[in-house]
Homo-oligomer: A and B are copies of this chain.
Amino acid sequence: MVDLSQIGEFDLIKRIRKGLGFKNKGVVVGIGDDSAAVRLTRGLILIASTDSLVEGVHFKSDTISPSQLGRKSVAVNVSDIAAMGGIPCYLLISIGIPPSLSVEYIDGLYDGVKEATGSYNVIVVGGDTFRSDGQLIISITILGEIEEGLLVRRGGAKVGDKIFVTGSLGDSALGLEMLESGISDNGPVKATQQTIHIDEVISRHILPTPRLEEGRLLATKRLASAMIDTSDGLASDLRRICEESVVGAMIYLKELPISEAVNDIAISRDKSPYDYALYGGEDYELLFTVRENRVKDITRYWKVMKNPIKEIGEIIKEDVGIVVIDEVHNVRPLTREGYDHFSGIKG
């Protein structure tokens, strides 16, 4: 194990550049100058977003490998571009490094960054490394581009729009719970249906897939009136759409897309799968609204997509707020706080 203090910042940056220093025709100045300089496609506008992962807050280093962490850091940022309907192009990565961290850890982290940027066609053009006295901190800014007329904001939902979500909800939160309970670490056991399900939700947590292709389709076909990625959980993220759009929302509990894995694991632990779907964060699915007269189009266009979509509710007037219709047709307000404050629902 080589300690970081043995190589110093100059050599660390050289090491990083070596791994990431590839360019494309848009990159005028890449890593290693005061600023990066890049060209955008003519006629497109710039989109930019920043997201940080902090050890102990967003991840624990004993439940995610350095390379997985690198991939996830890129993926969650790409997801913000997907949620606008844009194309990710470049990124800047700042890393706050505790002095005790090994060079091998950093190498692993950058290997993951390299793999993820390669698969999303994104180029690392700059960054910053600094000493952190405590936690490992990864702060990424992603730069992308989009046709100005196509970008999908959070504030475009109107009363009557249908609410859709891609994929399934709650997997990542349940995966985190499985990871933290150490259930996956019980050594070699015979694979049962449930151990397979546990692996599934854990991998959803460790390596979320940003819904880039889906977001782009929704934007280019002008299908979505508002869109967000589900990073904090359906309840929180739907609230963001409603606040920006000045509307309310009605969600049908039984329409929530819940994977077999979440259903199986939650029920076997006497928990509600709906709670994971409503409040679990980090799924990085797309939550979006569609004008009623475009719903048939979306079904048609979606045939080419691997990841399914599900209609889960409808935009209503602001004064009603955000409500859930449960299985016995009760209407209950949806707060963002989670199970304790929402005790009326059981799966």
B-binding segment of A50-58, A103-111, A189-197, A249-257: A50-58
Residues of B within 8 Å of A139, CB to CB, are: 50, 52, 94, 137, 139
CB-CB < 8 A to A336: which residues of B? 10
CB proximity to B under 8 Å, residues A24-38: 28-29, 32-38
Which of chain B's residues have a CB closer than 8 A to the CB of A239?
10
Interface of A is mostly: strand
A154 neighbours in B (Cβ, 8 Å): 32-34
* A81 CB within 8 Å of chain B: yes
Interface centre among A38, A58, A134 (most CB of B within 10 A): A134
CB-based nearest B residue for A55: B133
Cβ–Cβ contact B131 & A134, under 8 A? no
Whether a CB of chain B sits under 8 angstroms from the CB of A263 is no
Residue A345, interface by CB 8 Å: no
Copies of this chain per assembly: 2
Residues on B with C-beta less than 8 A from A34 are 49, 80-81, 83-84, 154, 227-229
Q: Tell me which residues from 122 to 160 in chain A have a Cβ below 8 Å from any Cβ of chain B.
A: 125-128, 130-135, 137, 139, 141-144, 146, 148, 151, 153-155
Q: How far is the CB of A236 from chain B (nearest CB, A)?
A: 8
For window 45-65 of A, CB contacts with B under 8 Å fall at 45-52, 54, 56-58
Task: Tell me, yes or no, whether A18 is within 8 Å of chain B by CB.
Answer: no
Q: A125-B48, A141-B50 are in contact. Are A37 and B130 (CB under 8 A)?
A: no
Contact B126 A49 (CB under 8 A): yes
Query: When the two chains form their complex, are residues A46 and B143 in contact, meaning their CB atoms are under 8 A apart?
Result: yes
Q: Which residues of B contact A133 (CB under 8 A)?
A: 54, 56-57, 134-135
Q: Which size bracket describes the interface of A in this complex?
A: 35 or more
Contacts of A56 in B (CB 8 A): 133
Is A86 on the interface with B (CB-CB < 8 A)?
Answer: yes
B52 touches A130 (CB 8 A): yes
**A29 lies within 8 A of B153 (CB):** yes
* CB neighbours of A50 from chain B (8 A): 92-94, 126-128, 139, 141
B131 and A54 form a contact (CB under 8 A): yes
Q: How far is the CB of A13 from chain B (nearest CB, A)?
A: 10
A92 in complex: contacting residue of B48, B128, B144, CB < 8 Å: B48
Q: A29-B151, A37-B84 known; 10 other A-B pairs, CB under 8 Å?
A: A33-B155, A33-B244, A34-B83, A37-B47, A40-B45, A52-B96, A52-B128, A54-B96, A132-B135, A137-B139
Enumerate 25 A-B pairs (CB-CB under 8 Å) in ascending A order.
Answer: A28-B45, A29-B47, A32-B154, A34-B49, A35-B49, A35-B80, A35-B81, A36-B49, A37-B148, A37-B151, A38-B45, A38-B48, A39-B148, A40-B40, A48-B141, A50-B127, A51-B94, A51-B128, A52-B94, A52-B128, A52-B139, A54-B137, A96-B137, A132-B137, A137-B139
